[in-house]
Amino acid sequence: MNKLFELTNKVIVITGGGGILCGTLARALGDEGAKIAVWDINEKAAVSIANEIKSNKATSVGVKCDVLDKESLKTAKERTVAELGQIDILINGAGGNKKEATTSEDLSFFDLPADAVRCVLELNFMGTFLTTQIVAEDIAKRGEGVILNISSISSFRPLTKVMGYSAAKAAVNNFTQWLAVHICQNYSKDIRVNAIAPGFFLTEQNRFLLTDEKTGELTARGKAIIDHTPMARFGKPEELIGTVMWLLSDAAKFVTGIVVPVDGGFSSFGGV
């Protein structure tokens, strides 16, 4: 059983690895004996997570990287290969929403600034596409590896307020399916491309929507989410680990092109 989920010595790049969800995944995968390259535009956050992994006797490097900048991605790849070896697995985790791209009582759909919406579309979709172009080229040449995209339940049915974010994550799902087929048909049957769609996890990207900034109490939206989640709570970042280990390891050897919700049942509940 353990052998099925084995990730020892696999070189894993995780973008957005300095953040809450991907930082948790980076630490957990380090504990499994994988070599972790933590890529993040926030160098301090990337290095801090890498140091935590190293202090647990695993191998890691924290690298400053902007997933929207090809030169930055190339430099990050060179450094990762030099320090950890050839990349086996890519997790596209850099992403998120912006308050400026979110409708509210103060900001109508008609006033949404194009720049803010463009920024959210670019980070979530173009950031995934560009990173995959740079990293997966090596994986395709070697003919073996795994790509895992971090989508969101807002990709299946759009959530209110976050129009650009929902559209961007829907594009990530579509890209996941497209690439899974393209890679099998043109490069190797041993490269898998999947995604996870987390439900609601309280992190910096959504805290302003789900809790009151002053009191910390749930907002009306936060309450509505809990009411529509059969498990009646937000997820804990560590609850993503099992699904991710399954998709990255040989346990999912015949699984490609799927998007797995990890959402306490939110996407299955019709509301009645």
Measured CA to CA, the distance from residue 76 to residue 254 in angstroms comes to 30
Compare residues 142 and 228 and give the one whose CB is closer to ligand NAD.
Answer: 228
Among 7, 11, 40, 249, binds ligand NAD (CB under 6 A): 40
Q: Is residue 201 part of the contact set for ligand NAD (CB under 6 A)?
A: yes
Per CB under 6 A, does 21 bind ligand NAD? yes
Which of 191, 223, 202 lies closest to 21, judged by CA?
202
Question: What one-character DSSP code corresponds to residue 242?
Answer: H
Between residues 48 and 188, which has the closer beta carbon with respect to ligand NAD?
48
* Options 132, 166, 194, 206; binder of ligand NAD; rule CB under 6 A: 206
Number of residues that bind ligand NAD (CB under 6 A): 30
> Pairing between strand 259-262 and 60-64?
unpaired
Q: 125, 165, 200, 234: which is the annotated catalytic residue? A: 165
For the question of residue 187 being annotated catalytic, the response is: no
Residues near 13 by beta carbon (within 8 Å), at least 6 away in sequence: 37, 39, 76, 77, 80, 87, 89, 90, 91, 135
Q: Which of 61, 87, 94, 225 binds ligand NAD (CB under 6 A)?
A: 94
CA-to-CA dists, residue 172 to 108, 225, 253, 270, angstroms: 26, 23, 22, 24
244 touching ligand NAD, by CB under 6 A: no
Distance, first Cα to last Cα, the chain: 39
Contact with ligand NAD (CB under 6 A) among 105, 204, 213, 217: 204
Residues that bind ligand NAD (CB under 6 A): 15-16, 18-22, 40-42, 45, 65-68, 93-96, 123, 127, 150, 152, 198, 200-201, 203-206
Catalytic residues: 165
